[in-house]
Amino acid sequence: MVLKLYDTLTRGVRDVFPMDEQTVRFYGCGPTVYGPAHIGNFRTFVMQDVFRRVLETSGQKTFHVRNLTDVDDKTIRQSQEEGLKLEDFTDKWTARFRKDCKLLNLMSPHAEPSAVSHIPEQISLIQRLIDAGKAYQASDGSVYFKVGAFSEYGRLSRLADREITTNETSRESSDEYDRESAADFALWKARRVEDGENYWESPWGQGRPGWHIECSAICMKHLGESFDLHSGGVDLVFPHHENEIAQVEAVTCKTFARHWFHIAHLMVEGQKMSKSLGNLYTLEDLEEKGYKPEEIRYLLLSGNYRQPLNFTFDSLGAARKALSKLTDFSRKFQIDQSPGKSLGTDFGDFHSVQEALLKDLNTPEALGRLFKIIRELSEAFERDEFNGKEDEMNRIRNGFRTTMDAFGLQLKVKDEEPVEIPLEIRNLAERRWEAKIAKDWGLADQLRGQLFNRGWLVKDGKDSFELAKV
């Protein structure tokens, strides 16, 4: 069965299939490792993970590449503020990102290259662009892509009908270099005083690569000059992905990526995510509030990826109830979900769930079908219709396991052993509760932090609280 997926470039739903008739090779833009990724970032990564899982549970081999941006204005500035070498700083946040990915049950990419480890490849691509007359060196040693020399610029983001004025974004420093056109973007940035020791030698002098060239060079190294699919958040369509296309196709004259897969924004309580609103929640923030990673994952995949998803605490509560129903079904049918070396491919009684997933990753429809099936099967179980029918039971078990593989949901079916709460932890939690009742929010937050640092989460109820191990 073939996955049909919306393509941003053609504005239509198309089949996803491998160019080489064997393996779907795809690229997903990864994080900039200068701080913890927030739940908006993870909506994209979770949906990319579901995309891969749906392919593999349909029997399709994949090769997944996701980059790490470890050199740009943000990583340099933040590392210097903390007094750390760039490598030590980015290693810290890379480890945090990988930890969060594991908690959310994201499959590890087959390759996870960093920008810094691919400086030679970026320099080589820039030189090819200069030789082809598609880029030029400015007087200070910076190198720019000549947008006017690439006639296809703007196809992905539909820019043909409006003037392109600039490609500068918050990812890039403001223009301090002498560009021929405001639309031209940096491929190589000449060394500046504020860069400190974060520079590399190049044919154009000391400096560092621009943001966009990183992904183009990494894709060409690990996936070739043309590959099956490129993915990222919808905010990357312009200028990042537009620039990636230009940088590659300007020298190869080949289609860079045959399919473009973008995931819509995440809203929080109906508002745009921002630091000023204090709603840039990380996984750790939500765990401190008593929510589990599997609940967060469920919520992030529950909406249509092409539509903005409104993240609310009520919806997290609904995710908890939904997972509880799935867990109850697993217990009833004695389904062990021990992770295997590879994903299942037999959906059995749950084939209609797979059909919904294959139709443009329609996760809301797929979840609706899933709960309809488990309700019907549970009712049949209560009527004792499966008594002595072990083959049917095994078919249901295998199909359910494969379905959970496709969603990437891990269910804790076995009852957890009761955890003994040390007296000092209990006393600390009681003090925090008293502070909360007294509306001493500062002290309450301080004590919650102390509990978390000691490995305990606090979940507040209406009249009391619960403690759980991190």
**DSSP per residue, 313-355:** HHHHHHHHHHHHHHHHHHHHTT------SS-----GGGHHHHH
Looking at residue 290, its pLDDT comes to 86
Q: Which residues pair with 136 in a beta bridge?
A: 144
Determine the structural domain holding residue 135 and report its residue range: 3-263
Residue 313 lies in a domain: yes
Residue 273 lies in a domain: no
Distances in Å between the Cα of 186 and the Cα atoms of 72, 182, 203, 233, 293 are: 12, 11, 15, 22, 39
- 209-249, pLDDT tens digit by residue? 999 999 999 999 999 999 999 999 999 999 999 999 999 99
The pairing of strands 207-209 and 185-190 is antiparallel
The pairing of strands 229-233 and 260-263 is parallel
Q: In the chain, which residues have pLDDT < 70?
A: 160-177, 339-340, 413-418, 462, 470
Looking at residue 448, its pLDDT comes to 85
Distance CA 26, CA 259 (A): 9
Distance CA 458, CA 468 (A): 7
> Same domain for 303 and 186?
no
Residue 271 lies in a domain: no
Residue 155 lies in a domain: yes
- DSSP letter at 170 equals T
Q: Packing angle between helix 363-382 and helix 390-407, nearest 10 degrees?
A: 160
Looking at residue 166, its pLDDT comes to 44
> Same domain for 398 and 458?
no
> Same domain for 441 and 338?
no
Residue 268 lies in a domain: no
E-state strands within 82-184: 135-137, 143-145
Looking at residue 179, its pLDDT comes to 87
| Verdict on whether the full-model pTM lies above 0.75 | yes
> Same domain for 217 and 96?
yes
Sign of CA dihedral 161, 162, 166, 172: negative
Greatest extent of the chain over all pairs of C-alpha atoms, in Å = 82
User: What are 11's two structure tokens?
Assistant: 């504005």
Looking at residue 458, its pLDDT comes to 82
Of the chain, the end-to-end C-alpha distance in Å amounts to 41
> Same domain for 390 and 448?
no
Question: Which CATH number fits the domain that encloses residue 142?
Answer: 3.40.50.620
| Cβ neighbours around 209 below 10 Å, total | 26
> Same domain for 127 and 61?
yes
- DSSP letter at 462 equals S
Looking at residue 416, its pLDDT comes to 54
Domain count of the chain? 3
> Same domain for 92 and 181?
yes
